Every structure is written in structure tokens, then in C-alpha cells.
Structure 1
Amino acid sequence: MVAALLLTLASGAPSATAEQSAPSGGLQRAFADAAAEYRVPQNVLLGVSYIQSRWDGHGGAPSVTGGYGPMHLTDAATALAEAPHHSHGAEDPRGDTARVPRTGGAHALGERAVFPARLRTLERAADLTGIPAERLRTDPSANVRGGAALLADAQRELGGAPGGGAADWFGAVARFSGADDTATATAYADDVFDVIRTGQSRTTDGGQRVSLRADGGPPPDRSAVARLGLRTADRTLTECPVTVACEWIPAPYEQFGEGDYGNHDKADRPVSQSVEYIVIHDTEATWDTTLRLVQDPEYVSWHYSLRSSDGHVAQHLRLKDVGWHAGNWFINAKSIGLEHEGFLVSPDAWYTEAMYRSSARLVRHLAGRYGVPLDRQHIIGHDNVPGTLPSTVPGMHTDPGPYWDWAHYFTLLGRPFAATAGPGAAAVTIRPDYDRHRPVYTGCAEAGGGCAPHGSGAVRLHTAPDASSPLVKDAGLRPDGGDSTTGVNDTGARASTGQRYAVAERRGDWTAVWYLGGKAWFHNPRTRPVAVGAHAVLVTPRAGLAEVPVYGRAYPEASAYPPGVPVQAVTPLPYKLLAGQRYVTAGSMPGEYYRATGFDASQHTVVRGEERYHVIQFGHRVAFVKAADVLVTRR
């Protein structure tokens, strides 16, 4: 999201030796052997690894915090190097043409500090085991041994003896998290012991089946966390559930000159306006860089940041206030923004299970508090936010991108995507198998270069039921009529997990949906479907209308504006919803505009009109149509 010199991964390419060195018994045997060697309960070792990586090796490539292998042993100095933010797009994060754009500009971040211990655990594992660092990075079985050695070392540090039952290892697990505050270390260990209690089983990205049998043994001894010497984070002003480790790191609200201020707007939500959206971003920066940027009064802002290594949350804005994060003022005024430590263009810059779980708990809490539906037209990525005007569409950002695992995320939210209608339904929910679905992407490391093979929740869309046919064109992204591409940042011909579309046609193993004003085809064989049937509420142009305008914001009619508040133009985007086409809607709302162009919040005004809009899944991004222009049907 942020546009500055930031840290990104030096290499996302998998190692040629990765996933090939596990012992004859496979990865499950590696856990058993390492547990026996270092006298760590096997279920503790498996539980920690699941929370770090879900037992995946990620081809020997590092996570967003420089972690390697199933145990996420960190070696940030090797994994990370300075490079520009992917910066695909030049959007104004505030997204409001009523005042001077705020892009943030380039920020000199100074020399990189020495990496903290939590980002150098692989070095310690090498010292404890005698295994070379390169082998710990690329050999899953060695990596598991390194993790076991770290846990055993933490147990001794706390005065305990290796061995015994899982309940005695809560403090060691909390230490393993690398968290520097008591609440985060405790929440991390709670997650690990929840996995131990419930059990898990899955096939890893290396094709190996790993299982952890449910263990309903005695509750863990949580008192050891107090002996870790960690700080107590300030959560006085935070608005987080008790299940999330959260601290208050405020974004500043400062005035620089006449009419110029930052980095957010004061408001009184939900009294002034309802909250309708939660926007998922990735930071395109390391944790420390992210915090420096959000505390810059001349930069932009969002409500929460989430750390990859342990799921720690920092809140920066009160939820009643409006952040500048989504590039669309209408969405900003009615949304909460969450930034997740990560890098879109590095497919193996993987997100940890700890961060996914922490984020899901936070979003579930926020959705309940504000009545936000848990669906993909309200829980959206930054890449699903529409442009405000035809001129802004090409510059909209594309994070968190095709490698964010929406299926897993919504399972953690308690709303897994499932068929709600039969195979011949009038609508479908996109739902590929993330791990097995690996479309080719380009542009991760260099323009035109292929990305490393990786699971994806995005489906590619064609103009005909043929894989060799051209990709669907996006007239907004390319007004000159240019073709969509396989670029990792090109959203022009992409449908994402959880998004619902009306079916236009079916031919054999191919399904066409209505998308950006035309038919878009994707391969959807019965033996390996990438979409399932869905009941949905659909909109289509009213009788007599050949086409309906599509908008990027739902602003009120001119007559709704009081004296002194300039009327905001309701400008169509370069798309049309044509007669005979249908699109899924997630409901209607009145047109609203939050007038906030000055530092004095007492001068801010909410303008609410009589005209209503439907939010629809129009392409990869959501869009709005006027309720008066469409007919609503339930199928």
C-alpha cells in the first residue's frame, strides 16, 4: 500500500533442494525423531509448526519476516534486501477529489537497524544443533530439528526440564513466538495449544501428509509467561477483542499549513455513518517500517497493522475516525482498514497461520460490532476497491493479490465457502483448491519474468471456452483497448475466491459469468471444480433500458447537498451493465458523502440522499449501480 523505499524479498524462487531431504518416514517421521532427540513433546512441536507454517516448507523460500521452513526459523539478514514498494498504481489513498491528493511521496527511512532476536532464530538454531544455516533453510527435517532445539532451549531457560507433558511447555512456546510483549506471547501459545486440543491433519505443499491427534489433556501452565521478562503493551485505547494481543500506536492528526493536514480524518462513526466494509491490505514493508510510516503525520493511515511472525496487532486510529488507505473516499468513509505484513509480488513471502488467525479474530469482532456481513462484497481486498473516476481506475492498488488465501481466511472467520445451490445454479461462488490451483503469473521479480509456482485463490478469465483464447479485457484499466495479461498485479481478467457471479452460459467443462459488461469464461471441470453453485440476489437493467451506468462511489443526488457544501459529481466509470446481463448484489444503501476537507472536525458534514445504490460484483472489483436503474431478482 505504501509508496516509499521499503523492504521486500531478495528472492522468491524455491530452492532446487527443498522438500527433498526428509527422512524415509517423511515429514511426520521428522517431527517424531526431532521430538525424541530434544525431548520436546511431539504434539507441542507439531502444534508450533502448524501455527507458523501449517507444516509447509514453501520450497525453501522465506516468509515476509525472513522465516524458513516448517518451523519458520528466521534469518532476515539473508532473506531481506532493500527495494522499492511494488507500487503498482498511483492512487491517492484518500481518494477524494474535493481536496489536494495525498500520495505520501517518497520517505527516507534511514539505515536499517540490526535485526532483533525474533528475526534471527535460525542463527541460534544453527548454534544449538551444529547444522549449517543453509541446510536449516532448505531441508525440512533439519528445520524441524532446529525448531525442536529452540523449544528445548527455551524450556531450560525457564528453569524447566525437557520431557514431560505438553501442559508444562506453555512458557517455552510463548518464548518461541519471538513476541516482545506478554499478551502477544500468551495469545500465540494459546493458539498452539488450541491446535493441540482440537488436532489437525493436512497434506503439505511438499505433498506429505502430516497429522496431529487431538489431545484433551490437562490445561497448560500459563504462569511461566510471567518469567519471560516481556513488556506490557499499552492497549488502553484499543478496540480489539480480548482474544487478540493489541497495542495502541497512534497515527498523528496534525495541521501543516492552510488547508493541509494529515494523516486521517476525525469522524463519529457509526453515529455519523455506518461501517459497511473491512478492507484487507498487505503492507509491502517490514513491521518496523510500517510503524514508522503510519506515525508520519504527512503520510497516510489505516486502523490496524498485523505482524506476520506472531499475529501481534497495533491499532492506529479510533474506529470512529476515517483512515486514508483504500484510494476511494466513499469506501474509506465507510470502512476499516487492516494492513498485514506482507509482499504481494513475492509469492513465497508467505503469511503465517498466526497472522491469519489473529486477523480473523479481529475481523470477526469488528464485523459483529458494526453489522458487517461476512462475505466477499463487504470483507474485501484493496484490490477489490473500485476506482472513483475513469481517470483513477488504472492507478488503483492490487494488494493483497492472488496469493492471499481467502478460503482459509473465511474458514477461520467461521464462514467457509460452500455450495448453497446445485451445479446448474444461476450464480456461482469462486472456490478453487488453493494448494492445488497454481495459475502461471508473471512480473514477481522482473517485468515479464515468471513467478515461482504457488497456490492461488484467483481464477483466470477468457473471452471463449478455450484456454488459448484471449483474456477478458478491462476497459477501465486499459482505455486504449490493450489486452489483459498474466501479470501478478493485473486484475483485469481475474475472479477471486469467495466472489459470486451470475452465470451467463455453460459449455462442457467451461462456465461463463457476467463480468465487466460481457461474458468471461473459466475452466470449471466437474472433477476439479473452481466454482460451486450459489443462491444469490441479482440485478439486471429495468425493462426498456439498453444499458445501465456503473459507478465507483455511491454519492447522493445534487438536491441532497445543503448550502455551502459543493455538489460531488456522480461520474460513471468506463463500463456498462447491458440489458440481459445479471450481477450479484449484496444489498442497497442510500447515497452518502462525507465532507471533510479541513482540520477542524466540527466543520465536517455527512450528506445523505434519497437515491439508493446497489453494490455489485462487477469485475474483480465491486461497483455501484443506481437502484432506480435495475430490477432485483432472487435466484
Structure 2
Amino acid sequence: MRHLAGTAVLAALVVIVPAAPGKADPRPEAPGGRQAAFAEAARAYGVPESVLLAVSYLESRWDGNDGLPSVAGGYGPMHLVDAGLAVPRGTGAPEGAGASGETGDHGDHGGHVHGSGEDPRGDETRPMARPARRPGPAAAPPPDTLRLASRLTGIPPERLRADPAANIRGGAALLAEYRRREGAPPGGEPVRWYGAVARYAASDDPGAAAAFADEVYATIRAGAARTTDDGEPMVLPPDPSAVPPAPASGRLGLHRPPAAPGPDCPPTVACRWLPAPYQRIGKGRYGNHDRYEGHREIDYIVVHDGESSYRSMVNAVRNPHYLSWHFTLRSRDGLVAQHLRGRDIGWHAGNWDVNSRSIGLEHEGYVARGGAWYTEAMYRASAKLVGHLARTYGVPLDRAHIVGHDNVPGTTRATVRGMHTDPGPYWDWARYFELLGRPLDRAARPRGHSVIILPDYAAHRPGFTGCGGSGACPPQGASSVWLHTAPSADAPLVKDVGRHPTGGSTRNVHDHAARASAGQRYARAGRENGWTAIWYLGQKAWFHDPKGARTSVRASGPLVTPRPGLSSVRLYGRAYPERSAYPEGVEPQRLVPLQYSLPAGQLYSVGLTRRGSYLRAVTFDASRHLVVGGETVYHQIQFGHRFMFVKASDVTLLPR
């Protein structure tokens, strides 16, 4: 793992008596760094140090996040939640509008739950009108652990938000309080703290609380070591003996409810079955998804953020007039709600070809909400779910198949500009693939003809605009690199003729026209003065990639270039079959080229190769739905930030 450090920093332990409740703690941050702060807080409140460290790791990976809140309203290494930030404004309206959901430069939000012009079904032969959202009940506020910690420690809330050492003391005080509520004394073996740990998740779902506690104890057994986002080396030594007694969760009433029927929810995550409705809604219309009774081929798992709260999303997906996706994940505890079976087709990606071959995951969060970050609990639950789905449906664990909504291409020239941009540059793809057990750098090949984009997320902080207005976004780790027309930071950003028919690319957080993201593989086009060039959108694009702080790794893999005699080849947003493949009575789908072309002499990486197909689903009666298979072979290529399709007959495949 590129940004993990295995060096332990051991500091002297100092016993500190907790301040009286209601009084400000005048002491400055303890010397010795964050490792010492955990040791001191643990001893002060009688919490096993390994428990305190592991709980924090599950919340934040020990990061301070520059005092910025998570998407669940939590602050600091211990994720102390300010309930005032976590409660949706209104009853069922999407969060973020007017705060961080500004349209920026492009009239486009990140996620589809309150996005702009994208047709979520992505089929111009059966367009879906902008869905109306029905107000749902307001979410109940989560426990305000920030202010409870303030009362327990006497430390003001503002300091608990901003000072990591104070925040750690607040978390220790909470764990000790939850232990006290069980009628148990402080101290004791780590395994005796299972109940307090489960309650720390602040979950209203017993299964999610138990899953959180299980992850904490798995972390204690395995150990962990890394350097935090603000440069603090941290270590949790492994303790294989930290196995809670088997009946612990039962005694605490933390029984997991049965997972949703079928193979789609793994037993290792807390999962609710909240089905999306499949029903007629008048005038030949139905919602809010399609069904297919045969075997549905799955090529993609699409990662979204919903630009909304968990509660708002699960309310919306159960509206037959709205859209649909397969799973929703909650930030604060990783709770999963399943809405569709794997064989069902959700309306989520804005491209019918991709929808018909994908499973969609919505994550509570925002492309840009004042620097909000995603919790470790949600990353872990999502990775467990995706790993299970990938095994079940045979989906390869790489960035050609595990894609963001922002990687899905437009279907026609008219739809390219309005396609959505979630989960955006603040989704940590490198961390996600580590949790999937497929680190992105495992594909590195020193003499390969490609590069995989792979910045150090914590240290890599490119500037963005558009977080809550036209100003700069707060500095924070990001997965993307900026692409320039020359090897210089002063050179203009490369142009995307589909995203910007007139004018140039911008640094708005919702504008990926000149960005490449972690895990994406591109053909290498040059190297000069600490900059690397790739072929991107029909041009040579340069990103800063200096020795000692590399933002890419060399890799190998198949590439394509136009076959001899062709000056360029067309690109497509869908891999549809040829006209002759359609049976009588089925209207052939037009194969419409996009406004891009692949020029001779340029190379692009291949993600998958398949024959064209079209899943026809135009009636409520699912028994009449069918898959039309063709003979035309397509290569999926990484042409820009989004993938696109090229006919195999138009290109030469180079196995590099």
C-alpha cells in the first residue's frame, strides 16, 4: 500500500485526569504526537488503548481531515458527530442544494438523486421525464456525540472539532460512558468492550452496530500502521487474542436481521431489504426499474454518490415515479439497503447499455460539500459488498469494470455534456481497491507501455473550485490529476469537445474534462522534466509525475490504434449490435457515433472486449423482455475520463 507506513512511533505515556464536566480544559495538546494522545486518553478514561485505536481507525483511519466534517457530520479521528450537520434540511428534499449542490460551471450536479438533465434510463427511444420526488419523513437526528463528549470532558465543541488530541479524549470519554451504562467498570481486557464499541457506531440498526464492532475487533487482531493525512506516524500492534465471546452480540441484543433473500447481500454486512416498486403508473408507463427473467450478464458495478442523505435516498428509490439503483450505503455505520435483485435493471447510470449490464451502488455523500469526507465504515461495507457481487457475477476487480458514474459515457452527442460527475475526485479509489484485496499498483510493470494513474491520496491535493459556490474547495486528498497541453503547470488544461463545445476546461470539482483518476490505465505518450504524457481524448495530455512523488505507475495491457489505412475511427457510447441482428418485430437501435474520434498514430488502453448486445425492455410484462445479440465486436477503451467503445474491425489490437 503506497501510503501506509509501518514505522511505530512510541512516546512516553502521561496520565491525565479528565476535566470536570462543564469546564473548559485549559491544557494544550499533549506532546509526543497523535500516538501519545491515544495512549494518554486511553489511560485517562480506562479504555484499552487497542480498542480506542481500532475504533478510531474504523471511523477515520486516524486522520484529522483538517477539521472538516464527514458526510455524516462527524469530526476528527474519533468522528464525533454534530447532529445539527447530519440532519437533512427539510422532509425528503435532497441535501446539499443551496449549500454544496451548486451547479458550478456546468449546470450539473454530481449525483443523480438531484442531478440536472441526465436521463437516468439512458435510452432515447424510451426517454424518462425528470422524475418528481415525493416528500418523505424527515430523518431522525443521530446521537449528538460531539456535545455529549463535550459534557463528559469539559472541552468546548469547537475544540473537539479542530484539535485531534482533544477529539481523541472526547472519543475515549464516550467509550467509557457507554461502558458505564452497561454497569461495567472501566479497564479490563479489550474483548470485554464489545458492547461499548457497538454502541459507538451510533447506529439505529442492531446488525450495523454489530458489524461495526466486528470490524473493530478484526482490526485489533490484524493490527494496522500508516501515516495520517497530516503526517502523524501511527501503529496498532496486532493482538490475535482479541476475539469477543461468541454470545456477546446476543447478550446485547445486537442480533443481525436476516440478509435480503437471494445472493446479493453478503452475510458480512448489515443489510436491509427495502424494495423498489415495480408497478404500472398509467398510460403504458411503469416504474421504477426493469426486470429480466433470464440470465443477465453483469459487466460493471457502478459507484455513485447520491448527493443526498441516506434517508432521502431510500425514500426516493421507493417512489414508483422516481428512478432506481440496487443498493444504498449509509456513511456513519456502513448500513446497506438493497432495493433490487441482481437480475433487475436499475435506472441509474444514464446509459441504457451500461444500465442493462450493471449493478448500481449509491453512497451517502456529495461530490463537493465543503470538503466532506467518506467514512472508513462506509468504504469497508461497500468493498465487502462489491467483492461479494464481483464473485457472484464474475466481474473483474479493476477500474474498467468497477467504475464511477463519472466514467460512464454519454449515449449520443446530445447527452455527453449532461452526464453526471459523481463520485468525483474525493472518492479514494486506491483505498477502495486495497479493501477489495486488489491494490491498484499490483498491475505495475516497469517496462510497460501504459501508465496507471495512482497519486498518494493523502498527500496529493490538487486545487478545485465549486465547493459551495464559485470559490476554492478546502484543501484535501484527491484521486485525480490535472491534464495539461504541455509539460508545465502554466500550460492550459486539455480540451474536451463533448463537455465543452465552446470554451475550455475548468478546475471546477464537477468538471472532469481534463482529469484522469486513480486506477485508470492510459497509453504512455511521453516523459519530460518530471511530467508524463498520455493519449487522452485524441490529444497528448501531460500530468505532473515527478520522481520521489510519482502520481502514476508503469503498467502493461492491451492497446488499440486505428488499423492501417484509416486516418481515424469513430467512437460510441454503447456497444449495440448490427441492424441485421434484430428479430422481426423488434425495432433496431441506431448506432450513433459520438463527437469524438481516435486519430491514427494514437494508442488507447482496452478494458474489455465483447460482442454487441441490446436488452429490450419496453413493456411491464417482463416475460416479453429479451436480449438481442450481434456479431459486431467492440473494445471498451479508456479514451478520456469516461470509457467509450470502438469497433474491433476499425482498430489493430496490440497486446502490450
Note if 1:569 corresponds to 2:595: no
Aligned to 2:48: 41
Report the Cα distance in structure 2 between the residues aligned to 1:177 and 1:358, rounded to whole angstroms: 13
Aligned ranges for residues 428-507 of structure 1 at < 5 Å? Answer: 428-447=451-470, 449-480=471-502, 482-507=503-528
> Any conservation in 1 of the 2:300–2:401 contact (CA below 8 Å)?
yes
The partner residue of 2:617 within 586, 596, 610 is 596
Kindly provide the amino acid, as one letter, of the partner of residue 487 in structure 2: P
Report the Cα distance in structure 2 between the residues aligned to 1:129 and 1:194, rounded to whole angstroms: 29
Note if 1:147 corresponds to 2:171: yes
Report the Cα distance in structure 2 between the residues aligned to 1:105 and 1:289, rounded to whole angstroms: 13
Note if 1:529 corresponds to 2:547: no
Aligned to 1:249: 274
The partner residue of 1:133 within 157, 166, 169 is 157
Aligned ranges for residues 595-614 of structure 1 at < 5 Å? Answer: 595-614=616-635
Aligned to 1:99: 126
Aligned to 1:512: 533
Note if 1:303 corresponds to 2:349: no
Note if 1:292 corresponds to 2:319: no
Q: Deviations over 1:277-314 (max 9, x none)?
A: 00000111111111111111111110011111111111
Kindly provide the amino acid, as one letter, of the partner of residue 414 in structure 1: G
Note if 1:181 corresponds to 2:205: yes
CA RMSD for the aligned pairs?
1.8
The partner residue of 1:618 within 623, 639, 649 is 639
Q: What is the CA-CA distance between 1:114 and the residue it aligns to?
A: 4.4
The partner residue of 2:186 within 158, 162, 168 is 162
Note if 1:282 corresponds to 2:309: no
Q: What is the CA-CA distance between 1:22 and the residue it aligns to?
A: 3.2
Report the Cα distance in structure 1 between the residues aligned to 2:225 and 2:334, rounded to whole angstroms: 22
Aligned ranges for residues 264-413 of structure 1 at < 5 Å? Answer: 264-268=289-293, 271=295, 273-346=296-369, 348-413=371-436
Report the Cα distance in structure 2 between the residues aligned to 1:595 and 1:201, rounded to whole angstroms: 50
> Any conservation in 2 of the 1:103–1:300 contact (CA below 8 Å)?
no
> Any conservation in 2 of the 1:203–1:209 contact (CA below 8 Å)?
yes
> Helix, strand or coil for the counterpart of 1:264?
coil
> Any conservation in 1 of the 2:346–2:355 contact (CA below 8 Å)?
yes
> Helix, strand or coil for the counterpart of 1:322?
coil
Q: Deviations over 1:529-553 (max 9, x none)?
A: 1111101101111111111100000
Q: What is the CA-CA distance between 1:211 and the residue it aligns to?
A: 1.3
Gaps of 5+ in 2: 1-26, 90-95, 103-107, 110-115
Which stretch shifts more, 39-48 or 57-66? 57-66
Report the Cα distance in structure 2 between the residues aligned to 1:196 and 1:133, rounded to whole angstroms: 29
Report the Cα distance in structure 1 between the residues aligned to 2:492 and 2:229, rounded to whole angstroms: 31
Note if 1:261 corresponds to 2:286: yes
> Helix, strand or coil for the counterpart of 1:408?
helix
Kindly provide the amino acid, as one letter, of the partner of residue 543 in structure 1: P
Q: What is the CA-CA distance between 1:422 and the residue it aligns to?
A: 4.9
Aligned to 1:556: 577
> Any conservation in 2 of the 1:348–1:454 contact (CA below 8 Å)?
yes
> Any conservation in 1 of the 2:323–2:348 contact (CA below 8 Å)?
yes
Q: What is the CA-CA distance between 1:419 and the residue it aligns to?
A: 6.0
Report the Cα distance in structure 1 between the residues aligned to 2:599 and 2:274, rounded to whole angstroms: 48
Report the Cα distance in structure 2 between the residues aligned to 1:477 and 1:484, rounded to whole angstroms: 8
Q: Deviations over 1:9-41 (max 9, x none)?
A: xxxxxxxxxxx9632122111111111111000
Report the Cα distance in structure 2 between the residues aligned to 1:555 and 1:402, rounded to whole angstroms: 30
Q: What is the CA-CA distance between 1:159 and the residue it aligns to?
A: 3.0
Report the Cα distance in structure 2 between the residues aligned to 1:477 and 1:576, rounded to whole angstroms: 14
Q: Deviations over 1:433-454 (max 9, x none)?
A: 111111010011102x100011
> Helix, strand or coil for the counterpart of 1:265?
coil
> Helix, strand or coil for the counterpart of 2:247?
helix
Q: Deviations over 1:174-197 (max 9, x none)?
A: 111122233222211111111111
Report the Cα distance in structure 2 between the residues aligned to 1:22 and 1:634, rounded to whole angstroms: 56
Q: What is the CA-CA distance between 1:375 and the residue it aligns to?
A: 0.6
Aligned ranges for residues 234-245 of structure 1 at < 5 Å? Answer: 234-237=258-261, 239-245=264-270
Report the Cα distance in structure 2 between the residues aligned to 1:504 and 1:105, rounded to whole angstroms: 46
Q: What is the CA-CA distance between 1:224 and the residue it aligns to?
A: 3.3
Report the Cα distance in structure 1 between the residues aligned to 2:197 and 2:151, rounded to whole angstroms: 19
Aligned to 2:229: 205
Kindly provide the amino acid, as one letter, of the partner of residue 164 in structure 2: P
Question: TM-score normalised to the size of structure 2?
Answer: 0.90
Note if 1:628 corresponds to 2:628: no
Report the Cα distance in structure 1 between the residues aligned to 2:28 and 2:632, rounded to whole angstroms: 63
Aligned to 1:5: none
Q: What is the CA-CA distance between 1:160 and the residue it aligns to?
A: 2.2
Q: Deviations over 1:245-291 (max 9, x none)?
A: 1110111111111221111001136x1x3100000001111111111
Aligned to 1:58: 65
Aligned to 2:80: 73
> Any conservation in 1 of the 2:259–2:266 contact (CA below 8 Å)?
no
Report the Cα distance in structure 2 between the residues aligned to 1:305 and 1:101, rounded to whole angstroms: 22
> Any conservation in 2 of the 1:202–1:209 contact (CA below 8 Å)?
yes
- Judging changes above 3 Å, is the alpha-carbon distance between structure 1 residues 249 and 145 closer, same or farther for their aligned structure 2 residues? same
Q: What is the CA-CA distance between 1:231 and the residue it aligns to?
A: 7.2
> Helix, strand or coil for the counterpart of 1:394?
coil
Report the Cα distance in structure 2 between the residues aligned to 1:405 and 1:22, rounded to whole angstroms: 30
Q: What is the CA-CA distance between 1:424 and the residue it aligns to?
A: 4.8
Aligned to 2:38: 31
Kindly provide the amino acid, as one letter, of the partner of residue 454 in structure 1: Q
Equivalent pairs counted in the alignment come to 609
> Any conservation in 1 of the 2:421–2:512 contact (CA below 8 Å)?
yes
Aligned to 1:226: 250
Q: What is the CA-CA distance between 1:102 and the residue it aligns to?
A: 3.8
> Any conservation in 2 of the 1:419–1:532 contact (CA below 8 Å)?
no
Question: TM-score normalised to the size of structure 1?
Answer: 0.93
- Judging changes above 3 Å, is the alpha-carbon distance between structure 1 residues 156 and 227 closer, same or farther for their aligned structure 2 residues? farther
- Judging changes above 3 Å, is the alpha-carbon distance between structure 1 residues 380 and 21 closer, same or farther for their aligned structure 2 residues? farther
Q: What is the CA-CA distance between 1:423 and the residue it aligns to?
A: 4.6
Report the Cα distance in structure 1 between the residues aligned to 2:251 and 2:131, rounded to whole angstroms: 42
Kindly provide the amino acid, as one letter, of the partner of residue 440 in structure 2: F
